[in-house]
Every structure is written in structure tokens, then in C-alpha cells.
Chains A and B, each alone.
Chain A
């Protein structure tokens, strides 16, 4: 679906440098490096407990690293959290929306916090609601949304304000095929505009088909990074990402 062009001269949208996070005796993230260029869709995969969630929490400013640095569009998430978050859109695995705001009000709130000019915000909200077929439900409270609708609303919220980096944590889960196709189409459009996307998923087929690069995380560090050419070669040879995953994460 996506064939991004990597402009070499532009700075990376995400630059993770030697991230380390320890919880007492446990080293959850152990020297994690990752760079994502504009317009690049990178998949992050790893077994349970590999440190993905911890790494994502540090990248989104929810946890502080013991060592290392995360730059989002050139802004350090720990040192310049406001600037970095302005450039970040994030959809977590477990969603909790403000239950007594309507879908539209949730988006309006996010747009206001992101300090979007009201006319631009209204236009962007209308477009996203229409794109995700939520226009009819926009005045219903978020607590009345189904899981799929809530996920589409959360993705819409993450896309408001044109973030430079979009982190989608298992965001295609719980979506029916139509909704999943809608999300993929919206993400593809954003990639063409230069947004970088980090897709965390356990559905390896998604990663194989969609991503320009797949990174395999194990015991807190990257043990494999496959670019599009590697993935195409694997497919041609009849190999799958699942086999690679199983072979390297014993």
C-alpha cells in the first residue's frame, strides 16, 4: 500500500538514541535506537515483555528514561515536552475517551489544546469525522461509542494538528475490515504528506504488507531491522515475518 520516499536531507521525525529504562532489577529497555524519517512507516514488533510498551511510554513522555534521549521532530520529549507533544499524535492500545463529551467535543477539545485556529479546527474535524464515517454519531456521548468507533475517534484526535509523528499502538485491533481500510487509507495519505508513523502490532501480516521497515525488539533492544527490500526478498523466498519472529525470540 505504502511506498514512501525517504528524503535524506530532512531531519528524522523520530530519533531515539540509546534508551535505557530499569525497574529495580529488571532492565525493560536496554539501549534502544530507532530513527524514522518523514513519510516512513515503521513497524515495531516484539514478544510480550520485550519492552515495547515501556519504550512507547518514554517516547510519548509518559515515562522518563534512565539514559538516552527521544527527539520528536527535533524536540526532546523530556526537556521540551510541550513542543515535542505538539508534534506527536498517539493512539494507545487501551482507550479511555472523556465519556461525557460527545465525539465532536472530544475532537474540539484536542484541537483547542493543540491551539489550532478555530476555522481550521472545524474544517479538520469535519473532514476526519466524514472520513471515518462518524458524522452521524458526532453528537453522541463518547461512552456510547462501540470499540471500533472509539478507536476511529482516537485516531482522529491523534491526527488533529498535523503531527509530525504518529504512534499507533495496536490501533488496527477491534476494527472491522471497512474501518481498518479507512484507517489505512488515512495513514497512507498522511505518509504522503510527510508524517512519520510508528505502528506497533502483533499482527505480523499487517507489518509485512504495510511497513517500509520492521524493527524486532527483544529484551529491550533491537535485534533485527528489515527494510522494504528485505521484506520483499523474504516474501519472494516464501519466508514470513512470523518465522523470523519465532526463530529470534526463543
Chain B
């Protein structure tokens, strides 16, 4: 239901966007800059996803420890995992398909929707195979002795022999992006600029990449998939949290005093776990601050701050700073304690909401300050109030959705949520003149 709703939302949103873009085309226009930009971002976003998601599927499949004991050939298991990877990623093509449909329906020249649909599709199909080959090649390095290069790459972040695994999602992303850019270039000219002679090229190299990568990956899998998995399990063993131990104090813990006493233990539990598990959130906060700061000093006079800062804030909070799926899912929860301790649901929800709001609150403040710089005090207050409402809605909404989702489907719920946030933010941003 959730996935279907998200798919419909994505389709409708992108189809509307396609129709709007088609309606705005100047008669006789041949550059189609707006459409190219949309297609580029759709291709990039799916490449971002597939680089890491394929890694997760190959190395962290939930049934890995069970299947590892079965007398299976590595190649058979690889086929099984790749079918899952394609099944998981193919729905991503709903977005470009919806956009292409919108263009077509609104009467854009037929080459344009074909280009909008084919570029992400070809890139996804070949990019997935490329990502699998990159991950398995990196995984194979676990079986050999460390080298000087790997020592350099590891940089004390991970053990030397795991260095290539650290970079394989980025390598997969880079490969998919290069493929995407080439596909974009040739398909655009072939389908919209009367260069039909170029049409075969992107299909040819995408097919070649697909086949070559799948064959290479299958060979590695056949030779060494299960030993790779065994070594990967070693690499996954949780290391000590920090060399100097867990810090005695947690920033923000003092805010517990503002809550009713029964809600405090839940607030502290969630605050500590989030802070320790998701240290990258603080980096995202800094990043948000930097982008907001840059916008504050470059915003033009005719652009009022609220339509700029609020979508940015919504995207950051909705994509990176929502904690509901982390706290309600198996990642940080203890179901038996949650179900058997004498807890009042109201207290637990309040404590959890408060802990989940800490980082979004910082983002709201940053956005409000940036809006004040850009547009004055009134703009700052508008962004502060609007941002607070937006952050509260997104945080509460994610918590509510996560509570409804099954624990073993939390990742699907989180993906659906993020797809909806991306679509909504995109639709809002693109609707700004």
C-alpha cells in the first residue's frame, strides 16, 4: 500500500511536471535546457541510490548467513541477488516514465519524451551491473594480502584489507554517472536534433557494459562469493565505539529537564543512540548551514526568502534528519523491552519526538538566520515559524509512518518516505518561477 501510494505520488508529480515543462517550451526551441536538467538530475539521483543499494544487497542480504550454509554455487547466489537488485531498482524508472508521459501528453515533440525515458533507463540497467562488478571486485580484495596502495586508501579509517570496499560505492556511482552523461549526450542529439545515426551508440555501449559487467561479476561470484562473504562478516564485526570510550555527557541531554519526568528516559535513550549511531547528521547540519549561508548572500532581490529556504529545509529534514525509521526499526530498538516494560505510550512518544526534533531544530534556526540576512527580520520570522511547523510535521510524520510499518520492512518505508520527500521538494522548487 505504502509503496503503491509513493509510486502514484511520484508518477503524478513527475507527470504534472512534464506537462508543465512541455507547455513552457518555446515553439521551435531545440535546446530544451529545462528538460535536460530534469533528466540529468533524475539519472544522477538513481545513480546515487544504486551505488550503495547494490552494495547492501550483495553483502548485507538478510538471508546471507542462512544461504551461506547451503551447497549453492556462487554464480547461482549471484543471480539471485542480482534479480533482487533489479527488482528493487526498477521502480525508480517510474519517475522518468511519469515525466516522459507528462511531456508526451502535453504535446512535446516525440523525441523529447523518448529521450527523457531512455536516458535514465539505459543508465540504470547497465549501472546496476557495473556496480555489482565494482563491489565484487572490491570484495575479492578481502581475500588477498594488503598492499601499499590499500594501506594508503584505508587511511586508518578501516583495516587495510577492507580499503577497496570503502570506495566501491563511490566507484559504482562514478561509473554510473559517466555512463549517464554519455547516454544523455548521445540520446539527446539522436532523438531531438535529427542525429538518428547516433542512436545505436548508447544502446550498444550500455548493452556491452551490462553484459561485460555481469559476466565479470558472475565469474568472481562463482570463484569466491562465499569466501568473500565470510571475510566481509569479519569486517562487519562491531569495533569498539571509540578509542577513548563512550563520552560521559551527551550534548542536548540537559533539555530533558524541559520535559515531563515520565518522558525523560525515552528522550535520553533516543538522543544518546541517535547521536552515537548517526554522527553524520552533524555533518549534514553543517552542510545545510553552508548552503543556507550561500543562499543568504546570493539571493536576488526579486526572490523572497521563504520559497527558497523552506524547501531546502524540508529536503534536509525530510531526507537526512528524520529519525523515525531509525528509532522504530530494528536498528536502534529493543522490541522486548519496549513491549514488556511498564511504559505509557504517550510518554514514550513525547520523549521520542523531542529527541528526534533536536537536529531539525538546529536546521530551522540556521535557515531562519539565513533568511533574516537575505530578506530582513520579517522574512526570518516567517522562515522560523514556517520551518518549525515544517520540521515538526516531517518529524512527526516520519515517526507515525515508521510506527505503522513492520519492523522488517522499515527500509522500504524509509525509501518510500524519501521518494515522496524528493518528489514534493522537486515539485515545489520547480514550481518557483
Contact = CB atoms under 8 A, between A and B. Distances in A.
Interface of A: 60-62, 81-83, 85-86, 88, 90, 92, 94-102, 105, 108-110, 112-115, 139-141, 143-144, 157
A105 B337 contact: no
Contacts of B77: none
Contact of B336 (A92, A101, A109, A139): A92
Q: How large is the interface on B (under 10, 10 to 19, 20 to 34, 35 or more residues)?
A: 20 to 34
A100 B272 contact: yes
Nearest to A60: B340
Looking at B272, B276, B331, B334, which has the most chain A CB atoms within 10 Å of its CB?
B334
B342 A101 contact: no
Interface in B161-189: none
The 7 closest A-B CB pairs, nearest first, are: A112-B265, A85-B342, A100-B273, A100-B276, A86-B342, A92-B336, A100-B277
Contacts of B257: none
A197 to B, nearest CB: 16
Interface of B: 238, 240-241, 245-246, 262, 264-265, 268-269, 272-273, 276-277, 330-337, 339-344
- Residue picked from B240, B272, B344, most chain A C-beta under 10 Å: B272
Contacts of B246: 102, 139-141
B339 A62 contact: yes
A90 B336 contact: yes
B238 A109 contact: no
A139 B245 contact: yes
A39 to B, nearest CB: 22
Contacts of B340: 60-62, 85, 88, 90
B269 A101 contact: yes
A202 B265 CA distance: 36
A98 B334 contact: yes
Contacts of B277: 99-100
16 contacts: A60-B339, A81-B342, A83-B342, A88-B340, A97-B337, A98-B333, A99-B277, A100-B332, A105-B269, A105-B272, A108-B265, A109-B269, A110-B337, A113-B341, A114-B341, A144-B240
Nearest to A59: B340
Contacts of A105: 269, 272
A101 B271 CA distance: 10
